[in-house]
């Protein structure tokens, strides 16, 4: 059960497009399930010990014994129901993980002909990351996508067109070299413009715009040190994050009984 909960927490951290309010409600449900299960297990153990130890004792009347038996039966049924809920959540989570693993492979296969130094596909925390170098996508200081980069994005869009339950976050990243001239005022401006350019290409390739979000991260999420030319080059990248929708998991969590303090009037 603890393994299931840990997996569920991992799945619920893939909330790039999920509000903090929903995330908080979901994690509260999970914590409530965990606490309830532990509490009921302890109560059931206590009731069983009491029944076995006092069934023949004069201190417990027949009526009290029957009442205790009914209580134990109800607790056992509720504990079984909670175990079934956790098993269902685990099943849904495993199915989602399998689907994302399969998607990662499909994306990698579609982009296999591109240089590994310019394009990589990985999976972290239940999300698929497609990282594309500046060299593949853009001329220096520009937000106009190069033909080879456009080809890569078109291939990615073709894979995503048949995976409609996956959303996409396009993040533009830069190094820490200030922009001194040109059409962009700073690295925020450049990273956002690059992400927007990619979103437009994906939309032109057939992806619904509501599935795609553009975000500029400027220089503030580096993957390497900016103290060397090689590090700066690695930091100048675009990451396209493929994010599974959590509707089914939230639906399953939403059927969990709420604690009295969580219920609304």
HEC secondary structure over 153-213: HHHHHHHHCCCCCEEEEEEEECCCCCCCCCCCCCHHHHHHHHHHHHHHHHHHCCCCHHHEE
CATH topology classification for 115-248: 60s Ribosomal Protein L30; Chain: A; (3.30.1330)
120: helix, strand or coil: strand
Contact 114, 136 (CB under 8 A): yes
**Angstrom distance (rounded) from CA 242 to CA 49:** 51
Phi, psi of 165 (to 5 degrees): -95, 15
Domain boundaries, the chain: 2-103, 115-248
Give the pLDDT of residue 245. Answer: 82
Question: Token digits for 155?
Answer: 């291939």
In this structure, the chain runs to a length of: 265
The tens-digit pLDDT sequence of the chain (265 residues) is 444 444 444 444 434 444 345 444 555 566 566 666 667 677 677 666 666 665 555 466 778 778 877 887 887 788 788 778 777 777 888 888 899 999 999 999 999 999 999 999 999 988 999 999 999 999 999 999 999 999 999 999 999 999 999 999 999 999 999 998 889 999 999 999 999 999 999 999 999 999 999 999 999 999 999 999 999 999 999 999 999 987 766 666 664 433 333 333 3
Contacts of 235 (CB under 8 A, 6+ apart): 173, 174, 175, 176, 219, 222, 223, 224, 226
**Angstrom distance (rounded) from CA 135 to CA 237:** 8
Distances (CA, A) of 241 to 19, 38, 100: 17, 37, 12
């Amino acid at each position: 059960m603890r393994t299931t909960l840990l997996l569920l927490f991992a799945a619920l951290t893939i909330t790039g497009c999920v509000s903090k309010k929903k995330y908080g409600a979901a994690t509260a449900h999970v914590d409530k399930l965990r606490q309830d299960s532990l509490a009921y297990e302890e109560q059931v153990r206590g009731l069983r010990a009491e029944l076995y130890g006092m069934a023949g004792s004069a201190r417990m009347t027949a009526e009290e014994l029957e009442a205790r038996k009914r209580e134990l039966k109800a607790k056992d049924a509720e504990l079984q129901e909670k175990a079934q809920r956790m098993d269902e959540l685990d099943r849904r989570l495993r199915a989602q993980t399998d689907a994302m693993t399969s998607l990662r492979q499909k994306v990698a296969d579609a982009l296999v002909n591109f240089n590994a130094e310019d394009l990589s596909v990985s999976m972290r925390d239940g999300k698929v990351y497609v990282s594309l170098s500046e060299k593949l996508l853009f001329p220096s200081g520009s937000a106009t996508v190069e033909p080879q980069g456009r080809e890569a994005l078109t291939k990615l869009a073709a894979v995503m067109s048949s995976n409609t339950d996956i959303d996409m976050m396009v993040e533009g990243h830069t190094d820490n070299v200030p922009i001194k001239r040109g059409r962009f005022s700073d690295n925020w401006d450049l990273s956002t413009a690059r992400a927007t350019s990619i979103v437009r290409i994906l939309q032109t390739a057939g992806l619904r715009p509501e599935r795609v979000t553009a975000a500029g991260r400027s220089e503030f999420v580096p993957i390497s040190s900016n103290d060397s030319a090689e590090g700066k080059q690695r930091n100048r990248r675009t990451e396209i994050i493929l994010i599974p929708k959590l509707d089914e998991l939230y639906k399953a969590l939403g059927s969990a009984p709420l604690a009295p303090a969580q219920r609304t009037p």
